[in-house]
Structure 1
Amino acid sequence: INCTIAKHNSHQLHDLYNLALNLSAEAIHIFMLVPVGCGVEIADDQMLEPERYEYILNEFYDLSKEAKIQTKATCSPHYFRIMRQRAKEEGITITPKTHGMAAMTKGCLAGTGVCFVSHKGEVFPCGYLPVNAGHVKKQPFKEIWKDSPVFMKLREPDLLGGKCGECEYKKVCEGCRARAFYETGDYMAEEPYCIYKPKIAKTR
């Protein structure tokens, strides 16, 4: 079961999980709202505050530990920072056995692990990030994937702006590039819905 989490249903995480169990679903995947496409129309009313975002992802971490089915947080890059913070507190080593699929991937995969090709042949970092990285009718996809300046930039976490660029978790999180683009017009800007303060910033 896939479900977008927003203000109207963020209190129903456990209900959603129980529904998945009752329907004999094999997995529950939550998607944190990204303000693109039809999401733009509801963003002002439905985007979670950063503090609520943090709370929900911690709640999902707790749920995932007890879950009888597969769980996955998508478009939720903070989750991979939270998972490491919580595992460290618990003295747990993150492995596929202890944390399932989340142990084998990272936060934002735009242009690094996935991309999106439109029906016109346009190539974008992901389905939520409208930054053109090439066109398969003009250039082989393999070349676009390997050499696109947009993709090459996204693959350099040190180029991330603001606190994302300073964060010790940047290589496993990277922040949502689509949300950064929506808020600032810069897909490399800091994630606007993260409350975490990097260690380097705390020492200033």
Structure 2
Amino acid sequence: MPHPMKHGHPGGHPHGAHGNTRGSTPGRGGAMPPLDFDQAPFLVIWETTQACDLACKHCRAKAQPNRHPDELTTAEAKGMLERIREFGRIIFVFSGGDAFKRPDIVELVKYGADLGLRMAITPATTPLATREIMQELKDAGLSRLAVSLDGSNSGIHDEFRQVCGSFDHGLRILKEAQEIGLTTQVNTVVRKNNLGDMDAMCRLMTELGIVFWEVFFLVPMGRARPEDVASAQGFENVFNKLYDLSKTATFDIKATAAPQYGRVVMQRRAAEQQEVDVLTGGTHHSLKDGIGRARNVTDGDGFMFISHVGDIYPSGFLPVKAGNVRSDDLVDVYRHSDLFRALRDRNNLKGKCHSCNYRPNCGGSRARAYAMTGDYHEAEPFCAYIPPHWQKLIDEGKVPGDAEYFAARFRAVEERPMV
């Protein structure tokens, strides 16, 4: 029976009986306790508002200047945080839009931190991100601040974000956040028209003093279109650059909406006769602020997204709603809804993803499969790898190659807002 979120209460971290330990994370001085993704996500992101002063070309939320009148209230947001604490001391991220468009953001960060959640925020790169508010957030208990940089220079970044000065604000925010003692990360969107900038981006990351670089591989939803996505081989090239960088970087590196990066890490390590793992050796950097890192977090599997009006999704890039925090218990939705349970069962995968020998460590992007085919169980459309069993079927003429397979499944991306 669903419980309204206002009746939630903080509780300990649940350990389920399914033995799912995909979230186990090695760290300096020992491993974090195994996480059961059937019982609790590693990460929850809340889209605090869709209001934002940027107009990014890829924007999942199609952000606009003004706040929506039906956004969660301060009291509702606090009730949501209480229910999320039932999962344990998980990571909670204030996203947007621009979280700094909410006047109660410091109050909510403090509330979540006092509950024991590990708090992070991803503000827009605008003048709203002042040193003063960042100091208030740090004093309130914020653990990490993330800034989006989508090019190695202002020309590339500002053209993508469609506001002049956004790149310079990003660099300023990172510097000021570090000066007041906040740990920082950079988020970067990989798309077709910045592939040639990736070497320069890798060099820039080494200069910024960050602990984490989260590299997002574009999902064609919101304002992004299929023609904006890099090719499967383009993805593969970036994966290899990230792996090479991970050997010397003083920060951790994560590929988001591209679990196939884990497959590349495993392949490269096997070729180098190293111990094989889906995580690179820099994971200890992301433990400096207590945030940590988990293996194989993906849509609905170790991950949950809540919209500005309280709708519950498997991720911000997979716009299939499973409930709303105003009417449904978000803990129950994550653990027991048909959608979340189906996404966590990789036996449901189709095509070469079902046949893949890396399926337990990857599973492909369910969001991108949905965006391109309308079926979140379909094979990852932007993966260059052909599993041996699938190649055998191709050779025997029992299944078509990738081009033919997806030609019959690709469709024009529909306009599907998150609410």
Assess same fold via TM > 0.5.
yes
Larger radius of gyration: 2
2:375 corresponding residue in structure 1: 186
2:197 corresponding residue in structure 1: 12
Change (3 A) 1:97 1:149: closer
Q: In the alignment, residue 135 of structure 1 is paired with which amino acid?
A: N
1:74 aligns with 2:256: yes
Q: In the alignment, residue 172 of structure 1 is paired with which amino acid?
A: N
Deviations 1:108-140 (A, max 9, x none): 511110111112221110000001112222221
Deviations 1:160-184 (A, max 9, x none): 0111111111121111111101111
Structure with more helix by fraction: 1
Match among 34, 37, 51 for residue 233 of structure 2: 51
Alignment partners' CA distance in 2, 1:159 and 1:144: 19
Match among 197, 200, 204 for residue 386 of structure 2: 197
Structure 2 counterparts to residues 1-204 of structure 1, below 5 A = 1-40=186-225, 43-44=226-227, 46-94=228-276, 99-101=281-283, 104-106=294-296, 109-204=298-393
1:98 to partner: Cα distance: 5.4
Percent of aligned pairs sharing the same letter:
34
Deviates more, 1:162-171 or 1:87-96: 87-96
* Structure 1 residues without counterparts, runs of 5 or longer: none
Runs of 4+ with deviation above 6 angstroms: none
Q: In the alignment, residue 113 of structure 1 is paired with which amino acid?
A: G
* Structure 2 residues without counterparts, runs of 5 or longer: 1-185, 285-292, 394-419
Alignment partners' CA distance in 1, 2:379 and 2:321: 20
Q: Is the 8 A contact 2:262 2:279 kept in 1?
A: no
Alignment partners' CA distance in 1, 2:390 and 2:243: 26
**3-state SS in 2 of match to 1:192:** coil
How many residue pairs match? The answer is 200
TM-score for the superposition, normalised by structure 2: 0.45
